[in-house]
């Protein structure tokens, strides 16, 4: 029964990558998974900028000490707030795009690729830098910088399951 | 190759449920997957309140027209902002808990269960109602109300993949 959890346990944050490219077809598989995530009112506010050009990757690596990663591909997951026709409809865009990002990471794992999620939103400086490098319009907010590639480090599968984080019916009753 | 995407495509929002319970053991499997998600700085701000009591479920069903769902189990995914010892550390809690929620939904799919993600945060009225019903302390914010159970409706597998949402190197260059 537990083998169904392998995919989740095998997804680890990979920070060292092999010098081996990722193809258009591979990227499309990952984005098919990403765009299968649920979104509030099915509004699908996500957009994805795929970066493999050496100069562009170098710019992204420099936006923070945590993004100095040698992967051959970065996918910037963005929310396009322009899809929301009425105020208040955009309140779930971070959740929607985060679910898509998690699907992307898990699909990378399924296809034998490593991945790393670097948070951008709501850090203003990183949003500004990435928006400039990718020439994003003002209505498109970069949420996450995801590195993808063949891993050059091994990490054991794991969960961080902790029964102390679970409650039964109400917060006073521990699991 | 595409069969690796089946799990993502098979996860659909299920709104009709069979009258068949979900066991502690099943819930633990789902939460093992949830707690395998990545979190910023590995701070794991998540907490989960599992609701199966009829009166408690009835209260949750009444918080919005979208939550009037007949599932035998609800799992409220919360962020515990008390885990953050310094200001600014909590900036990614919504992303962290959303990734865990998406893992929970996918694991439900893997185990033959249906699920539905109802957004709570940042809707003040729903946060207040759910916090009262679950007796949450002020530092614990309910992010998502997830219904889980055996589905009583069939939906086809799908992605909502759209190449128009993908860009190459920068926003001006379509995929």
> Given an 8 Å threshold on Cβ–Cβ distance, is B171 in contact with A143?
no
Q: Output the pLDDT for position B16.
A: 98
Sole residue written with tokens 């590195």:
A147
Most B CBs within 10 Å, among A5, A113, A116, A141, to test the B interface: A5
Residue B16: both structure tokens together: 């009709």
Q: Is residue A88 scored above 80 in pLDDT?
A: no
Q: What residue ranges do the domains of chain A occupy? A: 38-149
pLDDT digit string (tens) for A140-172? 999 999 999 999 999 999 999 999 999 999 999
What percent of chain A stands above pLDDT 90?
A: 94
Is pLDDT at A58 greater than 90 in this prediction? yes
CB A100 within 8 A of CB A115: no
A8/B36 Cβ within 8 A: yes
With a cut of 70, list the residues of chain B below it in pLDDT: 1
pLDDT score of A90 more than 90:
no
Interior CA angle at A35 toward A165 and A128, to 5°? Answer: 80
What is the architecture, at CATH level 2, of domain B22-151? 3-Layer(aba) Sandwich (3.40)
Percentage of chain A lying above the pLDDT 70 cut = 98
Instruction: Answer whether CATH 3.40.109.10 is correct for domain A38-149.
Output: yes
How long a stretch of residues is chain B?
A: 175
A64 touches chain B (CB under 8 A): no
Q: How far is CA B165 from the centre of its chain?
A: 24
Window 87-126 of A, Cβ < 8 Å to B:
91-92, 94-95, 98-99, 101-103, 105-107, 110-111, 117, 119, 122-123
Instruction: Give the three-class secondary structure for A142.
Output: strand
Quick one: pLDDT at residue B13?
Answer: 98
DSSP letters, A38-100, are --GGG---EEEEEE--HHHHHHHHTT-GGG----SEEEEEEEEGGG--STTGGGGHHHHHHHH
CA distance B75 to B130: 12
* Residue-level pLDDT at A89: 73
Which residues have C-beta within 8 Å of that of residue A38, sequence separation ≥ 6?
A96, A99, B11, B13, B105, B117
- pLDDT, residue B2, reads 77
d(CA B152, CA B114): 9
């Amino acid at each position: 029964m537990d083998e169904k959890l392998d995919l989740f346990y095998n997804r680890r944050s990979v920070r060292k990558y092999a010098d081996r490219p990722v193809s258009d077809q591979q990227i499309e598989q990952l984005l098919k998974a990403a765009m299968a995530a649920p979104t509030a009112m099915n509004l699908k506010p996500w957009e994805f900028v795929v970066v493999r050009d050496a100069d562009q990757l170098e710019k992204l690596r420099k936006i923070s000490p945590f993004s100095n990663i040698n992967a051959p591909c970065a996918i910037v997951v963005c929310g396009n707030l322009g899809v929301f026709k009425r105020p208040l409809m955009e309140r779930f865009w971070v959740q929607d795009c985060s679910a898509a990002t998690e699907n992307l990471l898990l699909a990378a794992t399924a296809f034998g690729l490593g991945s790393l999620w670097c948070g951008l939103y709501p850090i203003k400086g990183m949003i500004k830098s990435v928006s400039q490098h990718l020439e994003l319009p003002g209505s498109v907010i970069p949420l996450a910088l995801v590195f993808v590639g063949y891993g050059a480090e091994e990490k054991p599968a794991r969960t961080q399951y902790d029964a102390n984080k679970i409650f039964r019916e109400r917060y006073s009753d521990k699991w």
